[in-house]
Structure 1
Amino acid sequence: MSDTAAARPSLRAATAADLAAITALYAEEVRTGLATYEYAPPDEPEMAKRWQAIVSQGYPFLVAHLDERLAGYAYASAYRTREGYRWTVEDTVYVHPALAGRGVGRSLLQRLIDDCTTLGYRQMVAVIGDRSNAASIALHTRLGFATVGTFRGLGRKHGQWLDTVQMQRPLGFGDSCAP
């Protein structure tokens, strides 16, 4: 196997066996980061409920492994629950900080885009916690998302007001024709 092939993250659908590692990764972001505005890290049973709610609705939920450990996860979910939004999904991507810059986020998001396109969705929206999250904004931009707005001071965490960046990417035919 070449060094390049060895360096690529392996992707697959998340399973219940991944939930402990997913919970730990998310908990660290909740405690220290600004990508989520959640204050208290959810425990594994709560994360299991969230995972089950997503996959039971047919949305993709992926994990990436690199160096024989969970490197990140990503999933799509409903952007809004009203019927008129049923062709739009919201993406979520988390990468282990120690493995940032190694293509994990890009691999996860590209696969999520591909899977959601195959499922017939027409738009993907990214709701990025704080505009200081340059890595997430750059990742989404590289994969065809455009910034469509910034909500200033929409959330508060770690003693500061935070902006929320909204980005959007068409999937498949986008809004050029009816689904």
Structure 2
Amino acid sequence: MIRDAVVDDIPAITALYGHEVLTGTATFEETPPSEAEMAARLEAVLARGLPWVVAEMDGVFAGYAYLSPFRNRNAYRYTVENSVYVAGGLQGRGVGRALLSAVIERARELGLRHVMGVISDSATSAASIGLHERLGFERAGTWRHAGWKFDRWIDVHVMQLDLDPTAAAPSAPGVDLA
């Protein structure tokens, strides 16, 4: 089940993200944020009218995904970046696909133009790259040695989903970057 995130999800979201901060390279943060910080991040995403969703399997938290502004310049207001995190042991069971599909659909409903996937670590990112490709993202480039974490350089792969290949003029105001 996919549903909108609520404040009551913050402990589970914080625990999942904190584990990734400490053990993984899906984020370049190195210190896990507090529940208060994660609540502020949720509030900031929702205040911009962007989605933050949660997956549940059999009533148990299974992961989350959200959209955020790609860059903080007005010309980018039709482009968002996705973030997807799946709880340990649940990878490969369709949770990531359901989460990413949900935020893509919301991006379409908002009249946005592109969803960007910014995926770090070529050594462990094959599943994430594959997920994005299966949902229509195309590889847009690689930032070589863009981050330093766990005493090594890490590449970042950029993937792009074009929500309107006709390149029509925008039909909505885009993301509020204020």
Q: Say whether 1:53 aligns with 2:44.
A: yes
With the length of structure 2 as denominator, give the TM-score of the two structures: 0.93
Residue in structure 1 matching 2:137, options 145, 158, 169:
145
Query: How far apart are residue 175 of structure 1 and its match?
Result: 5.5
Deviation at 1:67, TM superposition (A): 2.9
> Are 1:136 and 2:128 an aligned pair?
yes
What is the letter of the counterpart of residue 21 of structure 1?
A
* Equivalent residues of 1:122, 1:175 under 8 A apart: no
Deviation sequence 1:41-78 (CA, Å, 0-9, x none): 00100101111111011000000001321101000010
TM-score, normalised on structure 1? 0.92
- % identity of equivalent residues: 49
Q: Answer yes or no: is 1:32 the counterpart of 2:23.
A: yes
Structure 2 match to 1:102:
93
Q: Distance in 1 between matches of 2:112 and 2:106?
A: 9
Alpha-carbon distance in 2 for matches of 1:71, 1:156: 29
Indicate whether 1:86 and 2:77 are aligned: yes
Secondary structure class of the residue paired with 1:111: helix
Once the two structures are TM-superposed, the CA of residue 97 in structure 1 deviates from its matched residue by: 2.0
Could you tell me whether the CA contact under 8 Å between 1:123 and 1:174 is conserved in 2?
no
CA distance in 1 between counterparts of 2:6 and 2:48 reads 15
Q: Secondary structure at the match of 1:97?
A: coil
What does 1:111-126 correspond to in 2, within 5 Å?
A: 111-126=102-117
Moved over 4 A (4+): none
Deviation at 1:81, TM superposition (A): 1.3
Structure with the larger helix share: 1
Unaligned runs of 5+ in 1: 1-9
- Partner Cα separation in structure 1 for residue 139 and residue 166 of structure 2: 17
Separation (CA, whole Å) in 2 of partners of 1:55 and 1:176: 27
Unaligned runs of 5+ in 2: 171-178
In structure 1, which of residues 70, 85, 91 is the aligned counterpart of residue 61 of structure 2? 70
**Residue 3 of structure 1: aligned partner:** none
Measured in 2, the distance between the counterparts of 1:42 and 1:174 equals 38
